Structure 1
């Protein structure tokens, strides 16, 4: 890793300093682009720059999802699938959230020009996640470059509960402090009414995000996976992902990936980091929504989802 950093051109090292400084000083703020209200903890300018000026390359993988739907887990799995046979590249990819390689995890993070200049200096496939709807991602560039997208979805009740708990531990944009609440019922209503800033237009939430990506479900560049299926049949789904990415991995490698990407291992790896401070890894299960939703709230959510996703071919699993 140190040898790789030393080998970078001086101009890339300077851009790395820009990224480090940006990461230290960035403050959550509400931003709107193409009528989409960005998640305040991310930088919509980076997403705009990527859309207009940056081109993926063959081998790149994008994990798209609504927040708290298994994004980090899926990215970790993809990273292991790609680089389990190359410890050097795996080490580089493990460093992408800090130092000179900071902001190399999410498309919508970091200082735009510097961040993507560093991305293009990486010698291997890049893995990025995004919580943005498809209209804010240059899908045509992804397709033409032969990159891939994995869309991971989760039942909306567990996703909402996870987002609710996560929101208690992250900085809030001062302009949106009126939306900060530890009252689950209030939070539920805010989400259903599309009041929270979650990377979709005003008045929308999870269903809008799903529909934006589902329009591509029959195309070869994208694969949809369910969080619950990954929990239930890890090896089967990981083999499907490997096949989608054009990779052949042995049974032993799949078993090793299962170990490395277990919730406990990922939670322990975050010890002492900013992720631990914000309690990023909470439970990682299926069915926790039952500890939060009343019967009336659950039925209301069911009706809301039924209407919002009418004619959309997707089935949610609320328990396994």
Structure 2
């Protein structure tokens, strides 16, 4: 757990007081996810929906400018975050308060760290959930590249990493910086899924039917799109296309910070599979995880899909 004022993680600090005091607009659109659950994917989809599928217009801005991370841009005076934002293509002096409505704003923070005005202004929230076993694998691949970049030792292997993922501790804080476990984040929003300003979607449903889920999102946002436009957005947002897009891959960050070839090793658009955990979890890993998972879910009716 962290205190109510500052999250200190991997050498940088997030000012939670600034986040809580952030002036929310009623027409804001928040994309909220537990890390490694489809954030990059949704950051590509929503701006295209809002722009009627105009790929050229959307590609004119880096993803982290058209859909900035709230907690990062509000804490941009931190030198490490300033460098991170530069590598994400966010210009110096970027001011989210001056951005034109409707703003698309991204956050990995759990519910109790979000702006206080959420309750009053009730902005639209698109929440993306992904099954925790695939999240664990994706997070593992991310931190294995991130830890050496901040001069910390990578994990010896997935089995060494898994207990830290389940408890959101130690090296996992390079990506789960508010210390939230998967259930504390996801199940909070699952309980709120019927609220009129909340659209709860899953990574797995998007993999099964991307055009159908784009239509759900467009209707939630009050944007009418033709079948042709929806299909065009779905094609542009396929993982094959995103793997060829240097902007989606965060190429500058991969090259300058992680020191990896983004076309081969970007942790932001890796495989996008459902069920990839089966080739990574050992039998013992699975038993360990399932025991805690049953405890996590004993009072919830949410049923993540672990394979398609």
Question: Aligned pairs, how many?
Answer: 278
Farther off after superposition, 305-314 or 204-213: 204-213
Given that 1:150 and 1:223 are in contact with CA atoms closer than 8 Å, whether structure 2 keeps it comes out as yes
Provide the C-alpha distance between the structure 1 equivalents of 2:192 and 2:8, rounded to a whole number of angstroms: 22
Q: Distance in 1 between matches of 2:168 and 2:252?
A: 32
Distance 1:88 1:288, change over 3 A: closer
| Helix, strand or coil at the partner of 1:168 | helix
Cα offset, 1:43, TM superposition: 4.5
Name the structure 2 match of 1:250: 226
Change (3 A) 1:212 1:166: same
- Does structure 1 residue 49 correspond to structure 2 residue 28? no
- When residues 37 and 51 of structure 1 are mapped into structure 2, their CA distance, relative to the original with a 3 A threshold, is closer
Residue 133 (1) aligns with residue 110 (2): yes
Is the contact made by 1:143 and 1:221 (CA closer than 8 Å) also made in structure 2? no
Find the aligned partners of 1:55 and 1:161 in 2 and give their Cα distance: 36
Q: 1:238 to 1:37 in 2, by over 3 A?
A: same
Q: What residue is the counterpart of 2:38 in the other structure? A: 70
Which of the numbers 181, 190, 196 marks the counterpart of 1:205?
181
- Describe the shift of the 1:157–1:222 C-alpha distance in structure 2 as closer, same or farther (beyond 3 A): same
TM-score by length of 2: 0.79
8 Å CA contact 2:14–2:75 kept in 1: the answer is no
The answer (yes or no) to whether the contact 1:211–1:312 under 8 Å persists in 2 is yes
Question: Partners of 1:88 and 1:263 in 2: how far apart?
Answer: 18
Name structure 2 gaps, 5 residues minimum: 78-91, 255-260
Q: Distance in 2 between matches of 1:287 and 1:136?
A: 31
User: Any residues of structure 2 matched to 1:124-203 within 5 Å, and which?
Assistant: 124-138=101-115, 141-171=117-147, 177=152, 180-195=154-169, 196-197=172-173, 198-201=176-179
The residue number in structure 2 matching 1:107 is: 70
Deviations 1:251-307 (A, max 9, x none): 011001011111122121126432454612211111110111122321321221110
Give the SS at the match of 2:277: helix
What is the match of residue 28 of structure 2? 60
Give the RMSD, CA atoms, in angstroms.
Answer: 3.0
Distance in structure 2 (CA, Å) of the matches to 1:57 and 1:294: 47
SS at match of 2:295: helix
Contact 1:43 1:109 in 2 (8 A): no
* TM-score after normalising by structure 1: 0.76
Segments of 4+ in structure 1 off by > 4 A? 35-39, 85-89, 113-117, 171-175, 275-278
Instruction: Give SS of 1:69's match.
Output: coil
Aligned to 1:311: 299
What is the alpha-carbon distance in structure 1 between the residues aligned to residue 76 and residue 266 of structure 2?
A: 31
Q: Distance in 1 between matches of 2:135 and 2:202?
A: 12
